[in-house]
Structure 1
């Protein structure tokens, strides 16, 4: 058994990944450096290169860790939604609770920024693409379940279209002086939800 896979090694590796995920949220990819991660994890500087082949590998693990936490929270939210027919406004609000958040404080905004920074970074960093594709596929599945629980029907292609509308609206809104990503996405979804995800005929 190598040191890296002993219980102590696993704890240290996890501490480094968790530290990197916190730095990603606070300062984006530029904040994740060997020294800053080791300092946050309260481990020697050499530990980052001992447990990870490269900084890119550490960042990919941090993205996967952060995404897994987000997915856990999203699943809990979906499981609390009852099965019943809902109109367009109620349906869109539940979709946005999942994709954007029901909160509107600074912390929620920072989480949104961090999420979309990961999207953009995956275009530049091949090691992030597989992780991001997997996360996106699982989010799409949860969105489809929200739609189903609202008494509506849609296809995987249309689910991706709905998520894409939200992505575009949120990114555009975050760049504004007085951003309201949820409100912007809500307006966009209300225009198409009955077409893309119509109610199931009784």
Structure 2
């Protein structure tokens, strides 16, 4: 009975000989099978869930940065750039203090980007104030030009006061210079468009004279708040236009 349960010596030898072969065959098939099991489902899962996790995080980041920039602009308009600190901006945006240092590497970086946003808003507001020039007389053209460039209402006065404060800071903060130039260039483009629509021959120097005159009077008005300041700007530009027209090239609008 006991012998019947044991494997004969020859059988044991054959089994011992065959075991390595079976093990080698199994091992040979393992990598392909393991690769089939692991890579295919894993790649499918990554392709399905990757974008859904990343996009909301990016959107939240953009929203946070926009909120911080808006808060910085609000602070500049309300009390000047001296009011802009990382903590004040974070408090205004109701975001953690660490958010400001994450999105803006320094206070100068924050102020620079806020200055850029102020310029964009002011140039856009000037374009919104543009209107067709029906009458091409000096008084009507002067009114169109001044109405586009001069701030309308207290909110726009606060924005332009903030812009002028930052503008004069450019001498100490050269990083602001490109945005200061963009503001001036925007004013030049708008004045040139009005003159071209009214059929006034002009050169870039003519446009620069008008812009410099109007901007100087706007800056004085923001500081001194004299009565009838806008009327004085219109009258001054109306006097300049005929003189500029007399010295402009005879072959039509330019610049």
Shorter-chain TM-score tier: 0.7 to 0.9
Go from structure 1 to structure 2 and tell me whether the alpha carbon gap of 1:177 and 1:158 turns closer, same or farther (over 3 Å shift): closer
The answer (yes or no) to whether the contact 2:104–2:110 under 8 Å persists in 1 is: yes
The 1:39–1:182 alpha-carbon spacing in structure 2 relative to 1, beyond 3 Å, is same
Matched, 1:97 2:144: no
1:177/1:19 Cα in 2 relative to 1: closer, same or farther (>3 Å)?
closer
- Match status 1:57 vs 2:109: yes
1:88 maps to which of 138, 145, 148: 138
Alignment length (residue pairs): 197
**Aligned counterparts of 2:245 and 2:170: Cα–Cα separation in 1:** 29
Greater CA radius of gyration, 1 or 2? 2
SS at match of 1:50: helix
Distance apart, 1:179 and its partner CA: 5.0
Q: Distance in 2 between matches of 1:179 and 1:37?
A: 35
Deviates more, 1:53-62 or 1:119-128: 119-128
Counterpart of 2:5 in structure 1 is: none
Residue 14 of structure 1 corresponds to 66
Contact 1:23 1:31 survives alignment (8 Å): yes
Comparing 138-147 with 170-179, greater Cα deviation is found at 170-179
- Write 1 or 2 for the structure with the bigger share of helix: 2
Alignment of structure 1 residues 112-123 onto 2, 5 Å: 112-123=160-171
Q: Cα distance, 1:52 vs. partner?
A: 0.7
C-alpha contact 1:169 1:188 (8 A) present in aligned 2 = no
Residues 115-134 of structure 1: pairs in structure 2 closer than 5 A: 115-134=163-182
8 Å CA contact 1:26–1:110 kept in 2: the answer is: yes
- Name whichever of 117-126 and 39-48 sits farther off: 117-126
Q: Deviations over 1:175-201 (max 9, x none)?
A: 336454423322332221222246989
Q: Which runs of 5+ in 2 are unaligned?
A: 1-53
TM-score (norm 1): 0.85
- Pairwise CA distance, 1:107: 3.0
SS in 2 for 1:6: helix
- RMSD between aligned alpha carbons? 2.7
- Secondary structure of the equivalent of 1:124? coil
Inter-partner Cα distance in structure 2 for 1:180 and 1:13: 41
What TM-score do you get using the length of structure 2 for normalisation?
A: 0.69
Alpha carbons of structure 1 residues 9 and 108: separation in structure 2 relative to 1, 3 Å: closer
Q: What secondary structure, in the 3-state scheme, does the structure 1 residue paired with 2:224 have?
A: coil
Stretches of structure 1 that go unaligned for 5 or more consecutive residues are none
Per-residue deviation, residues 31-90 of structure 1 (Å, max 9, x unmatched): 111111111111111211111111111111111112112222222333x425x5511111
Q: Which has the higher contact order (CA 8 A, sep 6+)?
A: 1
